[in-house]
Chains A and B, each alone.
Chain A
Amino acid sequence: MSEQDETPGRFRLTRREFLAALPPAAAAAAALAVPEELLAFTVLQPVEPGLNPLKAYPNRGWEQVYRDLYTPDSTFHYLCAPNDTHGCLLRANVKNGVVVYADPSFGYGKATDLYGNKASARWDPRVCISGLAYVRRFYSNRRVKGAFVRKGFKEWADAGFPRDPATGRPPRQYVEGRGKEPFVKVGWDQAFALAARALIDVATAYSGEAGRRRLARQGYDPDMIAAIELAGTRTIKCRGGMPFIAPFRVGGLYRFSNMLALLDAHVRKVGPAEAKGGRGWDNYAWHTDLPPGHPMVSGQQTLDFDLYTAENSKLVTLWGKNWIATKMPDGHWLTEAKLHGAKVVTIAPEYQSSSSKAEEVIIIRPGTDAALALGLANVIVREKLYDAAFVKSGTDLPLLVRMDTLKLLRAKDVFAGHRAASLRNATKVFTPGDPLPQPAMQEGQYLPEPLREEWNDHVVWDTRTNSARPVNRDQVGRFFEDTLLDPALDGAFEVTLVDGKKVQARPVFDILRQYLVDTCNPDVISRVTGAPKAAIVNLARQIATNRRSTLFVVGMGPNHFFNADLKDRTILLVAALTNNIGHFGGTVGSYAGNYRLALMTGIGQYVAEDPFNIELDPDKPARVKAYWKGESAHFFDYDDRPLRVGNKQFTGKSHMPTPTKAALWANTNSILGNAKWAHNVIVNTLPKIEAIVVADWFWTATCEYADIVFGVDSWIERRLPDVYAAVTNPFLQSWPRSPLPRTFDTRDDLECWAGIAAKMAEVTGVRGFRDYWHFVHERKISTYINRVFAAGNTTKGYRFEALDASCREGTPFYLMTRTSPRVVGWEQTNESRPWYTRTGRLEFYRDEDEFIEYGENLPVWREPADGTHHEPNVIMARPHPAIRPRGPEAYGLDPNDQSTEVRQVRNVVRSPEELLKSEHPLKARGFSHILITPKYRHACHSTGASTDLDVIYWGPFGDFYRHDRRKPWVSEGYIDLNPAEARALGIEDGDYVWCDADPSDRPFVGHERRPEERRLFRWLVRARYYPSILPGTGRAWFHFYISTHGSVEGHETRQDGLAKNPRTNYQAAYRYGSHQSITRAWLRPTLLTDSLVRKETIGQVLGKGFALDVHGAVGAPKESYVKIERAEPGGETGRGRWDPAAKGFRPGYESRAMKRFLAGEFIRKRG
């Protein structure tokens, strides 16, 4: 098959056309398969009389044709590594120099670790539909086939980067052609030079006082301008997409960011002490994969586990986690767990694919998982089903809270002369500035001394002595049991403070119980979530029955709501109450994507090598000094603004973004092509950015709007090695080097970073720029890899060369985590180690000022911010002494203002009755559906969603021949609607519909003033009658390629009607707009604090405030409330009904035969 440029004319091709249209390998194969004489018209020969082809057949020589077609000339292993969280070593079958098909390696079952542990063959095979389809992608005409520069950008560079004297902005004519004008193919050397010069120019323009004045005139928030600290390099943003996939290739951009300190030193003439690198954007948090409440409870990034632990469990609860659809190579662990007797329960707004593997199916309103968890907690607490010993020794629930200040009681305030205990349980207190061992040699948690003093110790009410007693951070698990304290969980106690003041204090458990009992009884929760009361009560009892053996598998579904942190805090609460954290068969895992570079703790050796002190001896470790600074990309997505609403800056200092003036992105369709609010970014934000450099091997929407595009090697062509791991399986893998020649004029990403740096060395005369990539120039990447391995807990003891040799045969190593399956919390629960929190316990109460102010010191129920039928983002509570948030008036806001910006910071409390009576403000205007965008089996990420063979199976509209010429591609996006509701809206199965979210800011701010772009970016999409979905909810899959200026132009001007950019071959899966037309960026105040204590991103050191991918902004990409209107009929000719509906084989259109089929009426059983 050819790419769909030339949609095949049905039945009409001659043999020559047939062969000419194929890629070389397929053509060769087809020539074999179809002997010449078959195509000529031949006179029919008489059939052999008496032949019984069941018995024998005379002429079997032709069978050789298929043997030839099947048999490869050679094979080799490569790593299939899309952004989908698996990564599989596949065996390429090569014929005539081309990879024709891929096989699983069948090598996972041979994996071992340093200590002789072995995997079993049950791990094989590992592969999926997308991996097999990618043979089409490697040879696609949508590859980036070299280095390209946007025409206007080149003109700007050629003119010497002229700028407006007052604002510093480039003149409009150089910028406004982005996405619309052609790209110029240039030589690699020229491309590197252009990128280097542009970055130097940006750094220069925005450095110092002059730079500060320019940014002020451009209107940036003053706090953002202050955050650049006069260093123009801080306006350069690097993002390597999901660096755990390829820490050296895409992670190289963070190293590049660190190197920019050399540029700052050059531009501002400062020394290493003052020099500042660039800023590096997040990944895990940017994708809203981070479960933001996990650090609030556990002090570290995420609780998760290798999925294969399922067979150790008795009850597997899936919370918006469609396991079998989105973790396909690990799907069998779930079905096999069932064969071992585990029960599976799905909790989702639909009967989803995993529901077909479940014993119980609970349907809930989208985004109400936290409410459901509170309902479960109500039953568990009311019926006293909790594990009191675990609650007392492992959680903060027995700690006393002062009811006057709502702060946790500190021992020093209660006991005169109390000095904070000196900590010995797997903990070291250090003085900031002291050198710390590299991560591999960190033998416990490292607490900065000032924090230790600030926290002091906490207090419980001991029922044995009937008195307040101090409890310190070491005293968790068995160490708490050793104290012989028996803390009260219920009650109110009068405590006399050191200063003589008497205060009322209550255990966290007690104030939480009050909230649960008063507000969250199963009747209320049933009405909030939609789940029947029996489902809530039964599930709670089952979880409580299965202590240590209930898995809480939480997916992206609930994680993509604004209230995601509350979902984490409440689900973890249910798990903690039932002792289901940290056991092989009972624990909590979050799986909204799961690349956590944190597992490769030695990575600092690479991404933070001191650029002023470069180690060129390959046998020595690097000297580490971080000049780059992490930043959440959500601020960029929020139109490059912080969260400032009313009279308050809600963005903590540690989170404060800088203005974005230049960007380097690799492997990252998601940063623009699939960003929430992508169309707003394209229209409103991009014009503020002056240079966008993108490296990718497939032309994405991010490439569409770039200035410089580097075409890099695909996975079957990689010349430089790399490594890979994921958090759902236990393996460490390499990217084996390819024996194949490059298909196009591409380079490795690493060669791009080294190439730009070399040009910077030329322009500036600073040699360090070149030396910083010495081992790339020398082709000795293994030097960097081995340094990282030697410094990391999970890799020390391994040499890259051995790993690579094994992976070339299709077999990975185990990552050397403490246990396999890796279960976060195993050490805390089984070895009584403290969590990474102030108290060392799992913390459900947050007494930081921010949390008290926002009404979330307790884990409460907050409605979704937009995706709800009710008043958005209000807190549900009956009067409670510990829920006392500041209302909108305190911020100078109208209490009735529910606009989207204001809504983010609105802390309004409603009783259950008020809440359930309330309505979304758009409901009165005909808006009717919560629209969610989950991930999907046929393209867990956009890599698969942009491959034609894959998307033929993308839902019901795949059609290679495009019988309907309106179709943007061989498949297209769609919205799932409950049939009866769709019919009531006048929509038929398969119709095209308009889908609009809040018109105040979507598809982009100001669309009413820009009708042309509104036409491009308003979402036109097909509707499917989908019986499995909850009424009031619509569903569209994430990850299809969005419409761009070029794709719409293609759709409207090309003869074939494809939504394909005639200049770049970018192929959209929508005619107009996209699933991002209805999303926007949302910033949540509780995620922007400077006070939350958490472990740093990597290693065992604790700190507070922002930490990249740990505590920071996440999005809310499943938040939208939409209006859906019929646009065009679904019939293939543009009229009438879509064929399958017209023929009577669709839900709601059943013919008589179909009805009998559904009822099983074609067979009767007698006797």
Chain B
Amino acid sequence: MPRVYNWQIGREMEYPFEGARPRRQAGAVFDTNKCIACQTCTMACKTTWTSGKGQEYMFWNNVETKPWGSYPLAWDVRILDALGPQAWKGATYEGKTIFEAAPTGEKALGFLPEDLDYAYPNRGEDEIDTPMSPERFYLRLPHDAWFFYLARICNHCTYPACLASCPRTAIYKRPEDGIVLTDQQRCRGYRECVKNCPYKKVFYNHTTRIAEKCVLCYPAVEQGIQPRCMRTCIGKIRTFGYLNTPERAEADNPMDFLVHVRKVALPLLPQLGLEPNVYYIPPVHVGSRRFLEMLFGPGVDGAIRAYRRAMEGQDPELLGVLMLNVSTDRIIRRFKVTDGQAEGFDEKGQDVVRVPLKEPTMVRPFHDERVQAYRYNVT
């Protein structure tokens, strides 16, 4: 089996195909500290892509509450359990990836959920890890009882397990943006992708009898517009853009800045070995560091420290990038933070958005001579 380099686990690993990175890799950073679990992203996706027969149960985008929420049921618990306890040494993953742990004759370690596992997509919402009791009636940071929200889409992985396992080679990665697509003409519904995608973000349509997955709204992305789930994000948790590998990071690219420069955003379950391209700023309030490291890898401490610095007013640049989130529906390629404001530029270097870090306060004259009116706050 070929060996490929996965920077997220700090080592080479086995993968069924020769490594090849796209010219550009589309990706996103989700700030869990800002996510409000409103599911607007979910509905944006749903009403655009999965409102047909056979798609009722499908949520290419969903938001789940950790630790109890999961869609489909226990997708994360089950793959982690199948893999068994594993270890990191520093920034290097010592355990097995799902490709390395593949059973004989399989491309990866996986499982196929049952029909009922896809019911109840919001099960677990707002549920804390341990039941409320008097000793938890006053919580201070970090919280002894906690949950947090995890928005999820297809990770458009660098080493996708769906792509690796398709017996028809019907799943591919676009060289121009790294978006992973299921060819709707070639797919025959074997469901190997459903089984082997550990994030369970490929879905079987029982009416058309083929597999479908998030397309990262490429028809929008091709026009420089953010995907539906990103541009409807009212929690303003999402940075969308193109990510470089660490050694080629550009400090004025918001994605690179968050992932490689400040290292405030981390991959989800990097130990599985897919090099996913959606990154998460971990929640600062969660009492269990172990839990966060299980989900986001060994960089959690550093990421939380970096985020806290911004909250303490010591990192206006990071503050600025986060204020730009979804303030425009255009894709931002470069940013600049100066004098209490943040600016975003598109592919061509055009200034597409400029925001103050703090919204101004306005005091209007009590008496408007010109129009003859008195202005009040108490009306």
Across-interface contacts of A1 in B (CB, < 8 A): 51-53, 55-56
21 contacts between A and B (CB under 8 A): A35-B184, A38-B210, A57-B172, A113-B362, A124-B327, A125-B329, A131-B40, A132-B46, A329-B234, A336-B236, A339-B311, A357-B33, A823-B377, A827-B378, A937-B39, A953-B125, A956-B123, A956-B125, A1028-B126, A1031-B132, A1162-B80
Given A125-B234, A443-B374: A532 and B137 interface contact (C-beta under 8 Å):
yes
Contact B310 A339 (CB under 8 A): yes
Across-interface contacts of B48 in A (CB, < 8 A): 69-70, 100-101
Whether, in the assembled complex, A817 has its beta carbon less than 8 Å from a beta carbon of chain B, the answer is yes
Identify which of B40, B73, B87 contacts A128 (C-beta below 8 A).
B40
Q: Closest Cβ of chain A: how far from B53's Cβ, in Å?
A: 4
C-alpha spacing A825/B377, complex, angstroms: 7
**Lowest 4 CB-CB distances: which A-B pairs, in order?**
A1160-B290, A53-B172, A57-B172, A796-B373
Whether, in the assembled complex, B218 has its beta carbon less than 8 Å from a beta carbon of chain A, the answer is yes
Whether, in the assembled complex, A117 has its beta carbon less than 8 Å from a beta carbon of chain B, the answer is yes
Q: Closest Cβ of chain B: how far from A65's Cβ, in Å?
A: 6
Across-interface contacts of A22 in B (CB, < 8 A): 52-53
Contact B373 A441 (CB under 8 A): yes
Chain B 56-71 residues near chain A, CB threshold 8 A: 56-57, 67-68, 70
Identify which of B67, B90, B218 contacts A1157 (C-beta below 8 A).
B67
Contact B85 A1162 (CB under 8 A): yes
Q: How many chain B residues touch the partner (CB < 8 A)?
A: 156
Given A128-B40, A1166-B89: A341 and B83 interface contact (C-beta under 8 Å):
no
Contact A54 B379 (CB under 8 A): no
Q: Closest Cβ of chain A: how far from B48's Cβ, in Å?
A: 5
Across-interface contacts of A793 in B (CB, < 8 A): 373-376, 379
Interface string of A77-114 (1 = CB under 8 A from B): 00000000000000000000000111110100100011
Chain A binder among B99-107, B144-152, B257-265: B144-152
Whether, in the assembled complex, B232 has its beta carbon less than 8 Å from a beta carbon of chain A, the answer is yes
Across-interface contacts of A117 in B (CB, < 8 A): 360, 362, 364
Across-interface contacts of A1100 in B (CB, < 8 A): 376
Contact B149 A53 (CB under 8 A): no
Chain A binder among B12-20, B195-203, B246-254: B12-20
Q: Which B residue sits closest to A1132, measured CB to CB?
A: B116
Contact B128 A351 (CB under 8 A): yes
Across-interface contacts of B88 in A (CB, < 8 A): 1163-1166
Identify which of A357, A600, A1154, A1165 contacts B74 (C-beta below 8 A).
A1154
Given A351-B132, A1153-B77: A1160 and B294 interface contact (C-beta under 8 Å):
yes
Whether, in the assembled complex, A1161 has its beta carbon less than 8 Å from a beta carbon of chain B, the answer is yes
Q: Closest Cβ of chain B: how far from A42's Cβ, in Å?
A: 8
Question: Total contacts A to B, CB within 8 angstroms?
Answer: 496
Identify which of B53, B174, B271, B292 contacts A13 (C-beta below 8 A).
B53
Contact B85 A1164 (CB under 8 A): yes
Say which size band chain A's interface belongs to.
Answer: 35 or more
Contact B121 A104 (CB under 8 A): no
Contact B323 A122 (CB under 8 A): yes
C-alpha spacing A374/B169, complex, angstroms: 69
Contact B234 A440 (CB under 8 A): no
C-alpha spacing A52/B373, complex, angstroms: 71
Whether, in the assembled complex, B326 has its beta carbon less than 8 Å from a beta carbon of chain A, the answer is yes
Whether, in the assembled complex, A47 has its beta carbon less than 8 Å from a beta carbon of chain B, the answer is yes
Contact B67 A66 (CB under 8 A): no
Interface string of A351-378 (1 = CB under 8 A from B): 1110111111111100000000000000
Contact B235 A335 (CB under 8 A): yes
Given A101-B44, A331-B38, A826-B377: A44 and B188 interface contact (C-beta under 8 Å):
yes
Given A1-B51, A953-B39: A125 and B233 interface contact (C-beta under 8 Å):
yes
Across-interface contacts of A67 in B (CB, < 8 A): 218-219, 222
Across-interface contacts of B368 in A (CB, < 8 A): 114, 796-797
Contact A1031 B379 (CB under 8 A): no
Chain A 954-981 residues near chain B, CB threshold 8 A: 954-961, 963, 978-980
Whether, in the assembled complex, B339 has its beta carbon less than 8 Å from a beta carbon of chain A, the answer is no
C-alpha spacing A35/B185, complex, angstroms: 8
Given A956-B120, A1132-B116, A1166-B88: A961 and B236 interface contact (C-beta under 8 Å):
no
Q: Which A residue sits closest to B18, measured CB to CB?
A: A52
Q: Which A residue sits closest to B188, measured CB to CB?
A: A44
Whether, in the assembled complex, B224 has its beta carbon less than 8 Å from a beta carbon of chain A, the answer is no
Q: Which B residue sits closest to A821, measured CB to CB?
A: B361
Contact A535 B138 (CB under 8 A): yes
Q: Closest Cβ of chain A: how far from B251's Cβ, in Å?
A: 20
C-alpha spacing A290/B314, complex, angstroms: 41
Given A47-B167, A106-B328, A826-B377: A1029 and B132 interface contact (C-beta under 8 Å):
yes
Contact B285 A33 (CB under 8 A): no
Q: Which A residue sits closest to B185, measured CB to CB?
A: A62
Chain A 508-544 residues near chain B, CB threshold 8 A: 530-532, 534-535
Interface string of B291-306 (1 = CB under 8 A from A): 1111000100000000
Across-interface contacts of B371 in A (CB, < 8 A): 114, 796-797
Whether, in the assembled complex, A135 has its beta carbon less than 8 Å from a beta carbon of chain B, the answer is yes
Across-interface contacts of A51 in B (CB, < 8 A): 169
Contact A963 B119 (CB under 8 A): yes
Q: Which A residue sits closest to B307, measured CB to CB?
A: A339
What 16 additional pairs, Cβ within 8 angstroms, besides A22-B53, A351-B139, A1163-B87?
Answer: A13-B53, A29-B52, A48-B169, A67-B218, A124-B326, A335-B235, A336-B34, A341-B313, A357-B285, A816-B375, A937-B37, A955-B125, A956-B120, A963-B119, A1146-B123, A1162-B83
Across-interface contacts of A52 in B (CB, < 8 A): 17-18, 20
Whether, in the assembled complex, B168 has its beta carbon less than 8 Å from a beta carbon of chain A, the answer is yes
